[in-house]
Structures are given as C-alpha cells and as structure tokens.
A and B are shown apart, each in its own frame.
Chain A
Amino acid sequence: MSQGTSQKAKSSVAALLRYRKNRDRVIELILLMAGLVAVFTTVAIVAILVYESSFFFSHVSIKDFLTDTMWTPLFSDARYGIMPLVSGTLTVTFVALLVAIPLGTIIAIYLSEFATHRLRETVKPILELLGAVPTVVYGYFALLMVTPFLQKFIPGLPGFNMLSAGLVIGLMIVPYVASVGEDAMRAVPRYMREGSYAMGATRLQTALRVVVPGAFSGLAAAYILGISRAIGETMVVAIAAGMQPTLTFNPTEPAATITAYIVQVSLGDLPHGSIGYQSIFAAGLVLMLMTLVFNVIGFFLTRKFREAY
C-alpha cells in the first residue's frame, strides 16, 4: 500500500467522523427543542392567563373581585365577585374528599398489606381503568343515576346539586389516591413490619401504626393529588351541579364552580376581547393559583414528614 492511499483513507475516515459528530450535535439540538416544549407550555400558560386577566383587572378592581358576593359578568348589571365560584369549587372538592380519602386509603392499605400478590396484580390495572373513564361519562352518571338515587333519601333535592357531583368526583379520584398511596406504603421497608410483628402486633396494627405513619409523606402526596384533581374537574360539575353561581357551602344546593363557569361561557358565543371573554381567564388564573397553593402545601407536608430509610 502506498503512502498516498493510506493518507487518503485516513482523511476520509476523519471526514466521516466529523460528519457523524456534527450530525450528533444537530440531533441533540433538535431533541433539546422538544424538551423545551414543556417549559414553553408552562410559560405560555402563565403568560396567557396573566395577559388576558390584566385587561379584566383594568375594568374590575381587585377589591371588588375578592369581596363582592355576586358573580354575574354576563348580565347587564354585571358584578364581578369571585367568591361564589370559589365557594362552589371548595364545597364540591370537600364532598369529593369525604369519599376519596377514606375509600382510597382503605383500598391502599388493603392492597399493600393484606391482599395476595395475585389479587393485587389483577386489581390494580382494573382500578386504573376507573381513572381512565372519560369525565363526561361520570357527569352522565352523576346527573342521571346518582341524583335520582339521592332524591329518594333527601326529599326536595334539586335536579342539579353539588352533592351528587362531589360524590361522583370522589369516586373518580379513589383510584388515584389508592394507587399513589399503595406505592408509598409498599416503599416502607420490610424490616419495619417485621419488627412490629415480632413485638406481637397483628397485621392491622402494623398497617395502621407502623406502615401508615411511615408512608405519611406519600399518602399526603396522594391526597394532594386528589385535591388538585377535584378542584380542576370540569365536566362532572358542568353537567350535574347546575351553572348558577351562588355563594353557598350547602352541598344540596345547585351552584357553579370556577371550571363550570369557564365551560358555560365557552359554550356561548362571546366575542374575542369582551369582558366576558376576559373573565374566564381571570377565573382560570384563580383556579391555577388554588391548585398551586395545594401543591405547595403538599410539597412542604412531604418534606416535613419525610422519613429517610
């Protein structure tokens, strides 16, 4: 082999290497852009909500927004107090949690501490299916099955009410609470259970006094996840709870939540840039802030009670 050809081969190998390295750099850049879509989405959400709400708040003072007890932006006598929507949202969420937290916790404890391996592996995917049911179907369930059923026990219960919406949302978030809670309890190391058994504790005692406290941070996270879901749930309340904003904490009354209001406005034909159009962004901003508050509480709860194993 002559000197020239080997030189030539070397340089073509070098060229190939350079090409592949450059190609890698270009590809990395493209992949990075895809990763940035997530960041961009968050920034865009905040930007859009704040930008559109800023027009709303140039019409409505923040004091009125927070203290007025009427929310009637679509009437000629428009009032802009967010409180009725917040009270509706909180009431529905509270009812939902009354269902989801006990049921979800019991299922989590049962699956993690009592169920056989086979039952757990069969039931978990089915339970996750419950969480995959479209929310509009749950709305149908609340309006046409749960409400008529409740009316047998609570005479005078209106056809639209927050109680049945809340109960159904609670049922809907049971799988989330159960699934996250179970994961947390299974992360508690085996030797802690064995220590407890060695002291003569039964399964239930071990579960309630050793495993549940040990998994508290995970359980708290599961509850917070449930709260966020309940606050943001839209279709069930839009269908079953009625759409009149009313300042009440009584679950047997009809009322509107923040999300239901946004749906109600979107169903109509509001011109872009009108005060009604802007009001849904203000409502959305409040919704985001409420979810944020719970997420922050969840973050601190988790940090405070985190056990290091």
Chain B
Amino acid sequence: MISGGPILRGFRWRWLRNRLFSFRSLTALLASLVGFILVLMVVFLALYAWPAVRLNGTGFLTQNSWNLGNLYGNPITVHGQQILPGAEYGILFLIAGTLLSTAIALLIAVPFGVGAAMFLSEGVPPPVRPWISFFVELLAAIPSVVYGLWGYVVVIPFLGHHIFPLVVRWLGFLPFLGGPAGSGYGLFTAGFVLSLMIVPLITATLRDALVGQPPELRDGAMALGATRFEALRTVLLPAARRVLVGSTILATGRALGETMAVLMVSGNALNYLPSNIYTPISTMASFIVSQLDSALQDPTGMAVRSLAEVALVLCLISIVVNALARVLLHYQGRHLLRAF
C-alpha cells in the first residue's frame, strides 16, 4: 500500500462509508428509528400534558371531578395557568373503571382460559388439536368494533333484560351483586366482552406450554399412580406457572388499552364510582375517544392537555404491564441468537 496524502484520505473515507452504509448498520438505523418513534410519542405526550400535570397535581388521580368548566365563560388564571372558570380534572372514576373492568375480565378469562387450555392439551387427539384450538384463537382475531357491535346489539339486551334482574333477585345479598339491575350497560358487560377478547392469549400460550412439556413429567406422574387429569393438574400445570402468569399479564395489557368495544357497552359514566357490577363505568381509553371533541372546544387548551395526561397515565401503565409480561415470558434462560 503506497501511503500518501490523497490516497490515504480516500482509503479511510471508503472504510468509513462501508461501515456507515453497510447493510448491518442501515438495518440497525431503521430499527432504532422505530424505537425512536415510541420514545418520541411518550415524550411528546409528557411535554404536552405537562401544564395540566402541574395544574392538576395529585388530585388528578384521587378525585372524581372531571369538569370542563363554563365553556361559555371567560378564562381565568389559576396557579399561573389560563383555564375556564370551574374547570377541574380528577379521574379517579376512570382509573377505577379501567382497573375494575380489567379485573372482571381476568376473573372470567383466567379460569376459562386455563380450563380450555387443559382440555385442548390433553383431552383432544393431536391431529384435531390445531383446528379446534384455532377456533378458540379466532376470538382474538375479531376486531374490537365487531365485539362492540355484538355487545350493543345482543349482549346488552340479553344481560339487561334477562340475566341481571335474575341475579339481583337470587344473589342480590352478595356484595356488589345487589342494588338496581341497571340497563345492561355497565361494568360487568364491559368486563365480559373484554374477557372474550383476552382469553385466547391465555389459552394459546398455556396450551403450547403444556403440550411442550417434556413427556417425562407426565409419564412420571402417571407411573406414580396419577390419572391423566391429576397429572395435568398437579404436575404439568404448576410447571407452566411462569407462562400462565406471563400470559395473564399480557392479557391485562391488552384489556387495559381496549377502546371501541368498551365504548359501546360501558355506559359512559362521569364522576361517580360504580356501586355494583351493573353500574355504568368509563375507562381511560374510551373516555379519551368520547371526550376529545368536547375538550377541543376549550379555548385555553387545558382540557385537551388534561386528556393528554389521561393518555399519558394509560400509556405508562400499559408499557409497564407489557414490559413485565415480556420479562416473565422470555426469562427462560434462552440464548438470543442474532440473525447474522
């Protein structure tokens, strides 16, 4: 290699260009661009909502007082911010609605999901298994708005006119099951529809985990005298515990962010907490959709920023829940192979 000014410079530049524009680095750049979008979204939300965060303080999370104020009055200044007179933003009822509807969804989805997974893993002959499980997995593919349609047209009249009055009559002494039977729009209906959407997440992963267990586990249990079901219940299922927990958390993440189906069946409550399972509720996601256009009419912009604060809270909760699920599901000690 003859060393010399221009030749040396040229060589280095080519080296640099090869490194920068190599397939590997271009791909990496594209990939990190995506991560950048996510960070951008959260940062943008946080920045936009910051004035609202400062104004609302901790009362945002502890009070039931969502009030846009006098939309036709003149803005006043509170704590150095311009807001409409009477404006106040407290979303306790949203947090309650979101958490309670998700809790009910899990209460229904986990037992049914586990039961279905057990049935699918052991009770169905292997050739037929993929197609029968596929039928249940379809529940996850149906779009949220179609669930909303089904809920609105079929489930609400069914629950409101037939089931809820019966439950109130016969089981009304139990806590949260008594009181006015409502109209069908409410907490339980939302939870029920959500449960159907998330159950396949639990069933599919758990079934795969149960089927994928080393056969020695089952054989060993049966050699000790257990029946197939007992082997399933006492040995295989506990061995898949981490998968169950992980998929449940994933399901929670999905339920927390559901919008359209909940919007159509929840009853859209404002500023009150549910007293029983038939009471209307609102979730954070459905509230944003239903209130965004009203909020846009606030000339001070504080209403939209407060909605952005709601979105931020929801976003952070969802991200944390999903990250937790990933950690639990990936923590198998498996090597992450690179593609090249």
A binds B: no
